[in-house]
């Protein structure tokens, strides 16, 4: 399992990366998420992926 932190998780590259994480359960562990804006989307991602930080 690969542990990853996604910087800019609410942007297009971040959301695409999280789509891949979602498609391959057991392959990736999300350690952290960051976002410059779009707090609502970040909260949704936190609930869905449960990062450690």
pLDDT per residue rounded down to tens, the chain (53 residues): 999 999 999 999 999 999 999 999 999 999 999 999 999 999 999 999 999 98
**For residues 25 and 22, what is the distance between their CA atoms, to the nearest angstrom?**
6
- The tally of domains found in the chain comes to 1
Instruction: Name 41's Cβ contacts closer than 8 Å, sequence gap at least 6.
Output: 10, 35
**Could you tell me the residue range of the domain that residue 6 belongs to?**
2-49
Q: What three-state secondary structure class fits 26?
A: coil
- Check residue 14 and give its pLDDT: 98
- Check residue 53 and give its pLDDT: 80
């Amino acid at each position: 399992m690969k542990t990853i932190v996604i910087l800019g998780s609410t942007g297009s590259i971040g959301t695409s990366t999280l789509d891949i994480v979602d498609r391959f359960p057991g392959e990736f562990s999300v350690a952290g998420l960051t976002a410059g804006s779009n707090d609502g989307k970040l909260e949704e991602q936190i609930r869905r992926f449960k990062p450690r930080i």
